[in-house]
């Protein structure tokens, strides 16, 4: 239709190249930190005998979410070990936990910032929409360019994809705190920090936890995708199943992902309910 093609791809490529060159040390430093976190998590997980680690996870679940989910976790984890997926499972767990740590670390302050400033919210909203709707695969390319192959770019791609719901719901939760509670906090002479910590955040907690839950689910959905850039784990097994057209192998690895997803989902959901049971009708 037109003679001139809008050179979006050239722009992006130039921009990424530029960033890559100018901020190489920053990216490398960041990669090292993430690498260290994952490494620590992984060696921690692997140092413990599988049965002991399973026991610890089951106890944690029992304490937070009750015996039903604890029973499910026990059976699920034993099954994963039984079909020989324990090591990939730990890899995936380390990836998921590391990415989620980053998400919480960045997402909470961003959400709070968005809630306390209309301008910040207006700027963030389209960026978040973009981050979440852009097909997840697309993040793999720059992630690889900046961080090479392995777990680190996996964490970064996951971070970008799974961050938005947390920021969004922290913002929403804090904005939905009833005005008279805010007025009460102010009338008693609370500082901004006191108001945030004693009133806004606790009252917004159920919404914040819903955001955490959503972002964990998105995080998990990236596991298989991230394996395409060399993030070892259950995703790699799925990928192998695809490459060999081996339904059974793919299904087993997929099942392990589902078990992890169910445990994490119910766990965060029950955190929300626990809080609500005490505070609301």
Partner 1 sequence: MTTSTAAEPSPRTHPRPDDRPSASECPADAATDASAGKRVKLAARDLSKVFGPRPERALELLAQGGTKADAQKLGAAVGVYDVSLDIHEGETFVLMGLSGSGKSTLLRLLNRLHEPTAGQVLVDGLDITRLSRRELLAVRREKFSGMVFQQFAILPHRTVLDNVAYGLEVQGVGADERRRRALEATALVGLEGWEAYYPAELSGGMQQRVGLARALAVDADILLMDEAFSALDPLIRREMQDELIELQARVNKTIVFVTHDLDEALKLGDRIAIMKDARVVQVGTAEEILTDPADEYVEAFIEGVDRASVLTAANIMQPVKETALLRDGPNTARTKMRRHGLSGMLVVDRERRVHGYVTAKSLGAQLEDPDAPRDRIDPERMEPAVVVDMHEPLQGVIGLASEASKPIGVIDERGRLRGVVVKGAILAALAQPGQTGNGGVVAGSGVAREEGAGV
Task: Report the residue from 123, 149, 181, 258 that binds partner 1 according to the rule CB under 8 A.
Answer: 181
Name the burial class of residue 254, with classes exposed (0-12), middle (13-18) and buried (19+) by CB atoms within 10 angstroms of its CB: middle
Task: Report the residue from 198, 230, 261, 271 that binds partner 1 according to the rule CB under 8 A.
Answer: 198
Answer yes or no: are the C-beta atoms of 220 and 165 closer than 8 Å.
no
C-beta closer to partner 1: residue 18 or 188: 188
Angle between helices 86-116 and 151-175 (to 10 degrees): 40
Choices 67-75, 96-104, 241-249, 272-280 (CB under 8 A): range interacting with partner 1:
272-280
277-280: which pairs have CB atoms within 8 A and are 24 or more residues apart?
A: none
* CB burial readout 79-101, b (16+ within 10 A) else e: ebbebebbbbbbbbbbbbbbbbe
Contact between 117 and partner 1 per CB under 8 A: no
Task: Report the residue from 130, 137, 188, 251 that binds partner 1 according to the rule CB under 8 A.
Answer: 188
Q: How far is the CB of 98 from partner 1 (least distance, A)?
A: 30
Task: Report the residue from 124, 143, 203, 267 that binds partner 1 according to the rule CB under 8 A.
Answer: 203
Task: Report the residue from 194, 246, 258, 273 that binds partner 1 according to the rule CB under 8 A.
Answer: 194
In 3D space, the residue among 103, 100, 60 whose CA is nearest the CA of residue 266 turns out to be 60
Contact between 281 and partner 1 per CB under 8 A: yes
Which of the residues 140 through 179 are near partner 1 (CB under 8 A)?
178
Alpha-carbon distance 135 to 95, whole Å? 20
Please give the residue ranges that form the binding site for partner 1 (CB under 8 A).
Answer: 178, 180-181, 183-191, 194, 198-199, 202-203, 205, 275, 278-281
């Amino acid at each position: 239709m037109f003679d001139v093609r809008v050179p979006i791809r050239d722009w992006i490529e130039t921009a990424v190249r530029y960033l890559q060159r100018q901020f190489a040390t920053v990216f490398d430093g960041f990669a090292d930190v993430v690498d260290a976190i994952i490494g620590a998590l992984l060696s921690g997980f692997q140092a413990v005998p599988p049965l002991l680690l399973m026991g610890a996870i089951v106890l944690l679940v029992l304490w937070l979410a009750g015996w039903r989910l604890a029973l499910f976790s026990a059976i699920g984890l034993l099954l994963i070990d039984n079909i020989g997926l324990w090591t990939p499972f730990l890899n995936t767990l380390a990836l998921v936990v590391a990415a989620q740590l980053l998400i919480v670390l960045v997402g909470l302050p961003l959400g709070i910032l968005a809630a306390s400033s209309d301008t910040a919210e207006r700027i963030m909203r389209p960026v978040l929409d973009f981050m979440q709707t852009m097909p997840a695969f697309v993040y793999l390319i720059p992630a690889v360019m900046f961080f090479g192959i392995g777990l680190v770019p996996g964490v970064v791609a996951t971070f970008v994809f799974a961050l938005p719901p947390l920021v969004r719901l922290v913002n929403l939760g804090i904005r939905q705190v009833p005005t008279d509670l805010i007025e009460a906090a102010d009338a008693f002479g609370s500082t901004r920090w006191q108001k945030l910590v004693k009133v806004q955040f606790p009252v917004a907690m159920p919404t914040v936890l819903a955001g955490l839950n959503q972002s964990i689910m998105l995080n998990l959905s990236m596991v298989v995708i991230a394996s395409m850039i060399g993030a070892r784990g259950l995703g790699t097994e799925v990928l192998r199943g695809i490459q060999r057209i081996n339904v059974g192998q793919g299904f087993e690895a997929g099942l392990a992902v589902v078990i992890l997803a169910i445990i994490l989902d119910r766990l965060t959901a029950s955190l929300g309910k626990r809080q609500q049971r005490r505070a609301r009708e």
